Structure 1
Amino acid sequence: MTAATQGLHHVTALAGDPQKNIDFYITGLGLRLVKKTVNFDAPGTYHLYYGDEAGRPGSLMTFFPWRGIAPGRIGAGQSTSTAFSVPAGSLGWWVDHFASVGSEAKITSTSSSEERLLVRDPDGLQIELVATHENDPRDPWDSKSVPAEYAIRGQHSSVLTVRDAEGTIGLMVNDLGMRIVEQEGGRTRLAAGPGGPGALVDVHASGLAPEGLTAGGTVHHIAFRVPDQETQLAWRNDLVSRGHQVTEILDRQYFTSIYFREPGGVLFEIATDTPGFDIDEPLLELGRSLKLPPWLEPSREAIEARVQPVSLPTENNPEVAA
C-alpha cells in the first residue's frame, strides 16, 4: 500500500430545490456555504459546498441540487447516513432548534460512548449528529442560528450499507490503510490515521436492505483525504495495480480527485487537501458569488441563465453582507 487516508474529506449528495437546501444547511445545521459553483461535468446545475469557516477537509458536505429530481431510495450499495460531530450534552438543544426551524429530530441511541440524533433534510437525506466525550479540537463555524457552544465541529462518520461486508472492509483495510476498531453484530467500525471524529466509517452488512437507488435524498459518493496531488498520483497507480478501475485525476478547482467503486457498490473518491476554497474569493466572502473554473468562464452567461437564483442568509457572510 502506497498511502493511507487520514479520514473523510467530504460527502456529496443529490438534492432538489437549491434554496431549500441552502436554508436547511445554513440555518438548520449551522454550516457555512463556502462555495457556490456548478457541477463541472453537468454545468446546468449548482454544486454547493458547506463546511466550517474555511471549508476545511473533513468539515464538508456538498450537493448537486437538481430541480424536479425524482426521490431516490436509501439502501444497499450506498452511504446511507452522514454523521456530524457535536459537543457532548448538546443534543437536547439541537432537538429544540430543529423544531424551531420546522424539522423533526429524534435521539435514536444513547450509550456511555456516544449519543445520536437523527434528522432528515428537505429531500429526506439522513443526517445524524453524534455527541461524544471524545475530544474534537476542530473549531466550529459560529453562526447566528447555531452558537459555537453547540455547533458542528465537522464530519464524524459515514455509514456504508452493503450486502456482503467482507470485500468492503478488505478494501478499506488493505487499500485505504484503515483499521478495524470495533465490531458489533452486523456493524464494523473502521478508523483512519489517529481515529476519532472525522476519521470513522461504519460498514453495515445487511441482506434485508433494499437495493439503493441514487437520486434525490441519497448520497452520490464519499471522499477520503490525501494531502497533495503527488501522493494522490502514487495512490492511483497503486490502486490500478491492484485491479481497481480508477478514473484519471480530475481537476475540481479546489482539490483534485480520483474515483472508483468499492466491492459493495459505493462510489469512493480520493481528494486532495489542497489548494482549498480561498483561491478564487476572500475568506470573508466565501459562497457569495457564483464561481466558475477558467474553462467554464466563457459560458458564464448561459450558465447563469440556467441555474435557479438563490439567496443566502446574512449569517453566511456577517462581516460583508449587505
Structure 2
Amino acid sequence: MELKGIHHVSAITAIAKQNYHFYTDILGLRLVKKSVNQDDPSMYHLFYADEIGRPGTDLTFFEIDRAGHTYQGNNSISLTALRVPSDEALRYWENRFSENNVLYQPITEQLGRKVLFFQDPEDQRLMLISDQNNQGVQAGIPWDRSPVPTQYGITGLGPVKLTVPDKTQTERVLTEVMNFRYKGSYEPYIAGQPNVDVYETGQGGTGTEVHIEERTDLSREKPGRGSVHHVAFRVADEVELLAWRDIVRSARMPNSGIVDRYYFKSLYFREPNGILYELATDGPGFATDESVEKLGEALALPPFLEDQRASIEARLEPLNTKRD
C-alpha cells in the first residue's frame, strides 16, 4: 500500500477573474474544469492543470468572496511547487516573471535541484522546481495552446511544504500511517531553525514529495486569500481508497468516509498539526462530462447539483473562459 504521489492542491482566491488571468495567461496552465465548491455551490472551484488534467497536475482554487489577508504561520501548507522540465526553463521563467511584474527570487538550489520562488497577486507562496535530474513519477504534458512554449511549460505539481511547530507527529503519520519514506534534508532559509525534512512515496521524485519545516518562531497561520486549503494524494482506484479508509480508521484518525466528487472519489482527514489531507482516486477524470477539446469552457456541475443550475449560475459572478 503506497500512495502514488500528489494528486492536487487546493487553495483560496478572493477574485476568480484575476486568478484565472494569472494562472492561464501568465503561468500558461490550462483551466480544465470550471465548477463550484460542492459543499458550498455559491463559490467557484477552478482547476488548472496540464493539457487534459492528469492526476498530479491540478492546482485548484476556491473563490471565497471578500476573503481576508493570510497571516502566514504554523500549522499550514506553506508552499506549493510546480514542475518544469529543465534548468533552462527556470531561466525562461525568470525573464517571464520580470516582464510581467511577478514577484520572485533568484534561482537557487534545494536538495541538489534548481528552484525558483515566486508569488501570485494574492501572495500565494509558489516555487518552480527543475526536473532536469529528476527520477520518479512521470510528469504531465503542457497544453500546446498555452502562451508558454511547451519546452518551458509547467508539467505538474512538485513538492508541498508543511510548516508546523513540532514535526514529530506529522512525520509519524506520514511514515507509520501513509507509508512515506525519508529522502533527505536541506538547510532552512531562516537561520536558527531545524533542517527541512523531505519524505517521498510511490515511485519517488518531485511529484511525490512532502517537505516538513519546523518553525519555533511562528504563531498559527490565519488563512485567507493566498493560503492553501488542503493537499490530496493519489490513489489508483476506489478499491485502494477503501483500503486506505480502513488504515486511517485503524490509526484512530477521524475521517470523512468516502466522498464522491464525480471526477474522483475522496477521503479526508487531518493529521495532528491540523493539516487537511485528502486521498483521491486517479479517475474517472475531467473528461467525464466535457470533451477534452472543450474542458473548462462552461460551468460544469456534478449530477446531484444539475437541478440547481439556474440558481447557482445566478449567484456566481460571470467568468468568461471560452477560448477561440
Is 2:214 the partner of 1:208?
no
Equivalent position to 2:78, from 77, 80, 88: 80
Separation (CA, whole Å) in 2 of partners of 1:134 and 1:172: 25
Separation (CA, whole Å) in 1 of partners of 2:110 and 2:76: 26
SS in 2 for 1:177: coil
Separation (CA, whole Å) in 2 of partners of 1:37 and 1:5: 26
Aligned residues: 313
Separation (CA, whole Å) in 1 of partners of 2:134 and 2:117: 21
Is 2:267 the partner of 1:258?
yes
Distance 1:211 1:112, change over 3 A: closer
SS in 2 for 1:209: coil
With 124-133 and 250-259 compared, the bigger mean Cα shift is at 124-133
Is 2:296 the partner of 1:287?
yes
Structure 2 unmatched runs, 5+: 187-193
Separation (CA, whole Å) in 2 of partners of 1:251 and 1:298: 18
Distance 1:221 1:75, change over 3 A: same
SS in 2 for 1:194: coil
Equivalent position to 1:4, from 2, 5, 13: 2
Task: Judge conservation of contact 2:11–2:228 (CA < 8 Å) in 1.
Answer: yes
Matches within 5 A, 1:213-228: 213-228=222-237
Equivalent position to 1:269, from 260, 278, 281: 278
With 169-178 and 96-105 compared, the bigger mean Cα shift is at 96-105
Separation (CA, whole Å) in 2 of partners of 1:235 and 1:254: 19
Is 2:151 the partner of 1:149?
yes
Task: Judge conservation of contact 1:192–1:199 (CA < 8 Å) in 2.
Answer: yes
Is 2:170 the partner of 1:171?
no
1:287-306 deviations in Å (ceiling 9; x for gaps): 00001111111111111011
Instruction: Supply the AA of the counterpart residue of 2:280.
Output: A
Aligned to 1:240: 249
SS in 1 for 2:304: coil
* Stretches of 4+ aligned residues off by more than 3 angstroms: none
Separation (CA, whole Å) in 2 of partners of 1:228 and 1:187: 32
Aligned to 2:123: 124
Aligned to 2:190: none
Instruction: Supply the AA of the counterpart residue of 2:92.
Output: W
With 94-103 and 37-46 compared, the bigger mean Cα shift is at 94-103
Aligned to 1:303: 312
Instruction: Supply the AA of the counterpart residue of 1:238.
Output: I
Aligned to 2:191: none
Name the TM-score, length of structure 1 as normaliser. 0.93
Separation (CA, whole Å) in 1 of partners of 2:24 and 2:47: 11
SS in 2 for 1:83: strand
Separation (CA, whole Å) in 2 of partners of 1:256 and 1:207: 36
Structure 1 unmatched runs, 5+: 315-320
Alpha-carbon RMSD across the aligned residues, in angstroms, is 1.5
Task: State the shift of 1:313 in Å.
Answer: 6.9
Task: State the shift of 1:112 in Å.
Answer: 7.8
Task: State the shift of 1:44 in Å.
Answer: 0.3
1:85-123 deviations in Å (ceiling 9; x for gaps): 112222221121123233222225236821221111121
Instruction: Supply the AA of the counterpart residue of 1:53.
Output: E
Separation (CA, whole Å) in 1 of partners of 2:97 and 2:79: 18
Separation (CA, whole Å) in 1 of partners of 2:175 and 2:113: 24
Separation (CA, whole Å) in 2 of partners of 1:164 and 1:111: 22
Matches within 5 A, 1:56-67: 56-67=54-65
Aligned to 1:190: 199
Instruction: Supply the AA of the counterpart residue of 1:73.
Output: Y
SS in 2 for 1:259: strand
Aligned to 1:317: none
Distance 1:112 1:179, change over 3 A: closer
